[in-house]
Amino acid sequence: MQILISAFYFFYFAIVGIYVIFLPKVLSMLGYSGVEIGIVFATAPLVRFLVPFAFIKGMKLNKKAFNSALLIIVVSSVLFYAALHNFYALVFTNILFGIGLSLLLPYVEVIALSVITKERYGKVRLFGSIGFIVVALVLVKYLSGVDIAVFYLIFMSVMTAIFGYLVAKNESGESEDTDTSQSGNINIFSHWSLWAGLTLMQVSFGPFYNFFTIYETDHGIGMDMTIYLWSFGVVMEVFMLFFQGRLLQKNLLGILQFTTFMTALRWLLLFLFPQSLAVSFFTQSIHALSFALFHSAAISYLFTLYKKRKLAQQFFLGITYGLGGFTGALYSGYVYEYFSTYLFLSSAFVAFTAFLFVRHEAKKTAYAS
């Protein structure tokens, strides 16, 4: 099972690599404006935010729903080819793609945490980071046109579907929620400051995920070097995922405070030194904290906080990466279009606000105990 989950992560995050590194650049090459790019990439996270509420109303994230999502991912990746030159068709395709993405990771994350445990989770999850790096380094060499990027997207979607199906087929049932009742599923408001902090953290990533490639090349850093920056960040992420086991045995809220603060520093440095390659590499090294350690600490904390574990993970991805990603993509498009100089200053402000909310949650929890 560990091999199947590792392979799933590899191909799933290879899709993410194509999606966040190359597709914004492809749309820019096709003549889409910053606002249009922001709108397109806001639709998928918006869907990711809305989908979990359907499960509160009675839908279940079971093998049937998971396998349907795998099919949706493959179909929507094929549709990207026909939709690239039409804004509205592209928005529709991205919505479909977002529906598929919103169902895949929560299902597999709970299986991984149940079967592998949080201490060993990072050593399996790092295969996703490797997939991200591989597709970045390979595709940058062969990206001679938009068709190549879409071809890679389709191939990685098919491979994700194959290994996702095998993971679901071999699930033993160990990952089932410990509470099967429908009452009191997820009380977000009792931990509102935690959810606000987690969500704002992802809002701060909007400029990075959607405009980092464009931002760096606009400031004189070549496309090849920009890909190396992406890859270096993921190498740091892999390093953290491999060695983070002992850290996750410590105060998880303390880790979330530290990682949100360091993320604010990361974005501030990008704003202050946009043309410095050395600073860009340093900020990418912080990706080990702002993505790898933050993500692992967040899902581990929610895994212990709520009994409805699959629903908790779905809400985490839906609210933080969904609502947060939607807001980040949308606002960053407008900031880039009209105030491009302040793109990452806005990120720094949002990330620091996330730190303050997580700090409030930690103080509240310490007082309650």
Instruction: Report how far residue 200's alpha carbon sits from residue 260's, in angstroms, rounded to the nearest whole number.
Output: 9
Residue 279 confidence (pLDDT) above 90: yes
| Structural domain span for residue 131 | 2-175+187-368
Pick the closest to residue 10 from 148, 125, 149, 106 (CA basis): 125
H-assigned helices in 57-117? 63-83, 87-115
Query: What b/e readout covers 112-126, taking b as 16+ CB neighbours within 10 angstroms?
Result: bbbbbebeebbbbbb
pLDDT, tens digit, 9 for 90 and up, residues 63-119:
888 889 999 999 999 998 888 889 999 999 999 998 888 788 878 877 887 777 666
**Domain contains 182:** no
**Domain contains 148:** yes
Cβ distance 165 to 47 under 8 Å? no
**Domain contains 328:** yes
**Domain contains 211:** yes
Residue 136 confidence (pLDDT) above 50: yes
**Domain contains 181:** no
pLDDT at 118: 65
pLDDT at 59: 62
Residue 261 confidence (pLDDT) above 90: yes
Q: Average model confidence (pLDDT) for the chain?
A: 85
Q: What integer is the mean pLDDT of 254-271?
A: 96
334 vs 354, residue with greater confidence: 354
**Domain contains 8:** yes
**Domain contains 86:** yes
The CATH number assigned to the domain holding 143 equals 1.20.1250.20
Residue 186 confidence (pLDDT) above 80: no
Phi–psi pair at 236, nearest 5 degrees: -65, -35
Residue 350 confidence (pLDDT) above 60: yes
**Domain contains 46:** yes
pLDDT at 172: 65
How does DSSP classify residue 22? I
Task: Name all contacts of 361-369 with Cβ < 8 Å and 24+ positions apart.
Answer: 361/191, 361/193, 361/194, 361/197, 361/253, 362/253, 362/254, 362/256, 362/257, 364/193, 365/253
pLDDT at 323: 86
127 vs 122, residue with greater confidence: 127
Domain count, the chain: 1
